[in-house]
Amino acid sequence: MKLSTVVATGIVLSVGFTNAFTPIAILQRPSLLSSSQLNLFGGGNKDGEKKEGGGGGMMNQLTMFKKAQEMAQKKQKIDQELAKESFKGSAADGKVTSDIKFQPSKNPMDPQPNYDAVGFDFDEEWYDSASPEEIGTAVKEALLDGINITNLAISEKYKILGEELQGMTQEN
- What would the pLDDT profile of 78-101 be if each residue is shown by its tens digit? 888 988 999 999 999 999 999 999
**Domain-embedded: residue 111:** yes
**Domain-embedded: residue 4:** no
**Domain-embedded: residue 124:** yes
**Domain-embedded: residue 57:** no
> Which residues contact residue 121 at a Cβ distance below 8 angstroms, ignoring those fewer than 6 apart?
96, 97, 98, 99
Q: What are phi and psi of 130, to 5 degrees?
A: -85, 150
CATH of the domain at 110: 3.30.1310.10
How many domains does the structure of the chain reveal?
1
**Domain-embedded: residue 61:** no
Residue 32 predicted with pLDDT over 60 = no
pLDDT at site 59? 65
pLDDT at site 29? 47
Q: How confident is the model at residue 126 (pLDDT cuts 50, 70, 90)?
A: very high
Q: How confident is the model at residue 14 (pLDDT cuts 50, 70, 90)?
A: very low
pLDDT at site 124? 94
Show the domain range for 92.
68-171
Q: What pTM was computed for the model?
A: 0.58
- DSSP lists the bridge partners of residue 114 as 103
Question: What is the Cα–Cα distance from 136 to 167, expressed in whole angstroms?
Answer: 46
**Domain-embedded: residue 135:** yes
Considering only residues 69 and 56, tell me which one the structure prediction assigns the higher pLDDT.
69
Residue 47 predicted with pLDDT over 50 = yes
**Domain-embedded: residue 8:** no
**Domain-embedded: residue 148:** yes
pLDDT at site 61? 79
